Amino acid sequence: MNSKADVIAMSTERAPYPQAKSRWFGSVKRERLRLVFAFYSPDGNEIAMPIASMSAYLKRDFPWVDVINEPILILRDENKYSPENYAKLIEEHDADVIAFSVMSPHWYPMEPYFAELKARLPDLPIVIGGYQAMLSQQQTIENPNVDYICTGDGEYAIGNVVQHLKGTKDGPADGLWEKLSDGEVYETEAHQIGDLAALPFPDYDVFAKADGFKDVNSSIFGPKGKLVLPVMTGRGCPYRCTYCCNTPILEGWKTKKTFLRKYDPQDMVDELIRLRDKYGVGYFEFWDELFLSNLKFVRAFFELYKEQIRLPFSINSRVEVMNEEFCKSAAEAGCHTIWFGIESGDEEYRAKMLGRKMTNEQVIAAAENCKKAGINRLTFNIVGAPLETADNMRATLALNKTIAPEHFFFFPYIPLRGTPLYNIAKEEGLLLENKKNMHYLSAANDRQFTLNMKECPELLNAEEYDQICREMLAFQEANNRLTYSDEETGETNPVTVEDKSFSLSEEPQEPQEPQESRAPETTGESEVSVSEVAAASVQEYTPAPAQPADVPMPPPQAKPSLLQSVKGFFLS
């Protein structure tokens, strides 16, 4: 039990653990321990992979733990999920520990929940894991209501928590930081799990409701009327986009070759068959951050999937790998939609500020390859990132209009601590003082077009930002047209996606005709080397840079800020 943790966790020399100062060691006396998992869902999604994975691990190795899932589903019922009522709900569960999975943008909205829980249930330890705890460790542990934080992978760590609370394993809960009774913090090193085969496949039962999955909102983009189940074939991405948390995680990964992890293709397919048959799945949504991170896996997987699963699916990809061959084999396997990031339509801004080196030509060619293969395209775009100009934003809209993806998405930039772009924004004094009102949903979904950065009026003022966002919204409404063919009836129906966005109807806009895509410019390549394309992107990234490597350097004496030099660069 737990043997892999010792191999994978980075054990180091550490100070002796002052067990007598632990408030929680051995605090659970009853036979069965009740653990509640929780996460915050402002977009209505009710499945979280970290919880599914930790739940499976606990159920396999610690059968004396009762695992309960109680997410904060504020879109379902604002009153039921108010901090006060949520604390009452947890009290009814008679829990021994509550474990939250927290993304950084959710930290501020979640703090009142921790306060209410501590006030009502002072003997309930609160454990925080997820990107917030991994990348903002001090901020997280300093919250007076937080007792433990998990600064890395959580499966073995949560196993250690339950043993620690029961007092069955001496020493600290390895993989976590613990706040001791005198306020000191005892730290152990983060776990990095490099071998997915050592873990059980995620547990979905923990999300089921009284009527199974009928009433569970399990997908963001998938078609309604079918059970859309999110799944992952692996973890990790080889790229290092400057705004993404994959970058600092990859940077801190100690054995780099274990970062890109995939399940064995046949094991994965067997698991999908099991899920399909157990839950009546009608569509799989692959949530891997980069589906094609391992070419060998993808080839084998598509072959098996085509033969054995026969269900439509969607994946996340990068335009660099979406050549004709890839799109064709994806389509043959049943790929319905590929989601990919364009992020900015301005090549230079995208390369220099966002760390994405692809050309617009590549973007257009990839989109065309998908279209030719009969795959829907869903694009992700960021607006309001540091030092973005109004023209950059317009270029993003223009490029999307050229492609006319079946679904166009735009998100307000969120500064994420630990990422290179966050560091730039901080150094340039662009971070907002009050981060509590950040907008982080799809810009249209949020219905607020307010910058998450301080305004740089010479580059992009608040009014222009709002106006261009509205133009983007009008394009979405006129353009978005995902379709889904129902095999049973043979009908092709427009998909009603679950994303509740695109309906800001106070100010009706002139619908715009989607433009036809430009003629394809295929790469002609027969093979994609993911590591090669990723390496090209990697070269561009310098960890925590003071400034991006290839932004023109000012003369040494009169060193203006990056903001000044970039302003000069973009405005010239």
Check if the beta carbon of residue 38 is closer than 8 Å to that of residue 71. yes
Nearer to ligand SF4, 216 or 321 (CB): 321
> Binding to ligand SF4 by residue 237, rule CB under 6 A?
yes
Q: Which amino acid, 500?
A: K
> Binding to ligand SF4 by residue 244, rule CB under 6 A?
yes
Nearer to ligand B12, 196 or 335 (CB): 196
**The binder of ligand SF4 chosen from 246, 294, 419, 517 (CB under 6 A):** 246
Nearer to ligand SF4, 9 or 319 (CB): 319
CA distance 322 to 528: 8
186 phi/psi in degrees, rounded to 5: -100, 120
User: 229: which strand partners?
Assistant: 284
Taking the complex as a whole, the smallest distance from the CB of residue 241 to ligand B12 amounts, in Å, to: 8
Burial (CB count <10 Å: 0-12, 13-18, 19+), residue 546: exposed
**The binder of ligand B12 chosen from 22, 55, 69, 104 (CB under 6 A):** 104
Taking the complex as a whole, the smallest distance from the CB of residue 524 to ligand B12 amounts, in Å, to: 31
- Please work out, in degrees rounded to the nearest 5, the angle formed at the alpha carbon of residue 408 by the alpha carbons of 345 and 50: 105
**The binder of ligand B12 chosen from 19, 21, 34, 49 (CB under 6 A):** 49
CA distance 314 to 222: 8
Nearer to ligand SF4, 193 or 290 (CB): 290
- The CB density around residue 491, as the number of other CB atoms within 10 Å, is 9
Nearer to ligand SF4, 218 or 242 (CB): 242
Site string (378-417) toward ligand B12, x via CB under 6 A: ---------------------------------x--x-x-
Q: Which part of the chain contacts ligand SF4 (CB under 6 A), choosing from 75-83, 177-185, 240-248, 276-284? A: 240-248
Taking the complex as a whole, the smallest distance from the CB of residue 354 to ligand B12 amounts, in Å, to: 12
Taking the complex as a whole, the smallest distance from the CB of residue 394 to ligand SF4 amounts, in Å, to: 23
Sequence-separated (6 or more) residues with CB below 8 Å from residue 427: 546, 561, 562
Nearer to ligand B12, 157 or 495 (CB): 157
Taking the complex as a whole, the smallest distance from the CB of residue 537 to ligand SF4 amounts, in Å, to: 8
Length of the chain: 572
> Binding to ligand SF4 by residue 363, rule CB under 6 A?
no
Nearer to ligand SF4, 55 or 233 (CB): 233
CA distance 432 to 153: 30
* E-only strand ranges, 45-125: 65-69, 97-101
CA distance 543 to 423: 10
Taking the complex as a whole, the smallest distance from the CB of residue 543 to ligand SF4 amounts, in Å, to: 13
**The binder of ligand SF4 chosen from 106, 164, 261, 318 (CB under 6 A):** 318
> Binding to ligand SF4 by residue 294, rule CB under 6 A?
no
Q: How far is CA 399 from CA 187, 336, 343, 344, 475, in A?
A: 48, 22, 10, 9, 12
CA distance 314 to 72: 27
Q: How far is CA 333 from CA 299, 311, 330, in A?
A: 10, 9, 5
> Binding to ligand SF4 by residue 241, rule CB under 6 A?
yes
CA distance 53 to 58: 9
How many residues sit close enough to ligand B12 to count as binding (CB under 6 A)?
Answer: 41
Among ligand SF4, ligand B12, none, what binds residue 234 when CB lies within 5 to 8 Å by partner kind?
none
> Binding to ligand B12 by residue 298, rule CB under 6 A?
no
**The binder of ligand SF4 chosen from 189, 264, 289, 348 (CB under 6 A):** 289
CA distance 558 to 548: 19
- The CB density around residue 219, as the number of other CB atoms within 10 Å, is 24
Taking the complex as a whole, the smallest distance from the CB of residue 341 to ligand B12 amounts, in Å, to: 10
H helix or E strand, kind and range, residue 150: strand 148-150
User: 377: which strand partners?
Assistant: 338
Stretch 457-516 residues interacting with ligand B12 (CB under 6 A): none
CA distance 357 to 338: 20
Sequence-separated (6 or more) residues with CB below 8 Å from residue 44: 73, 75, 76, 217, 498, 500
How many residues sit close enough to ligand SF4 to count as binding (CB under 6 A)?
Answer: 11
185 phi/psi in degrees, rounded to 5: -115, 130
CA distance 557 to 572: 22
Instruction: Output the six-digit token pair for 16.
Output: 């002796």
Site string (328-367) toward ligand B12, x via CB under 6 A: ----------------------------------------
> Binding to ligand SF4 by residue 342, rule CB under 6 A?
no
Stretch 131-160 residues interacting with ligand B12 (CB under 6 A): 131-132, 134-135, 150, 153-155, 157-158
Burial (CB count <10 Å: 0-12, 13-18, 19+), residue 352: buried
Sequence-separated (6 or more) residues with CB below 8 Å from residue 230: 47, 49, 218, 219, 284, 285, 286, 287
User: 149: which strand partners?
Assistant: 128, 177
**The binder of ligand B12 chosen from 55, 69, 101, 362 (CB under 6 A):** 101
Nearer to ligand B12, 41 or 369 (CB): 41
> Binding to ligand B12 by residue 130, rule CB under 6 A?
yes
> Binding to ligand SF4 by residue 340, rule CB under 6 A?
no
**The binder of ligand B12 chosen from 5, 9, 33, 43 (CB under 6 A):** 43
Q: Which part of the chain contacts ligand SF4 (CB under 6 A), choosing from 123-131, 185-193, 232-240, 439-447? A: 232-240
| Residues at the site binding ligand SF4, with contacts judged by CB under 6 A | 237, 239-241, 244, 246-247, 289-290, 318, 341
| Residues at the site binding ligand B12, with contacts judged by CB under 6 A | 41-43, 45, 48-50, 53, 99-101, 103-105, 127, 129-132, 134-135, 150, 153-155, 157-158, 193, 220, 232, 235, 244-246, 287, 289, 411, 414, 416, 440-441
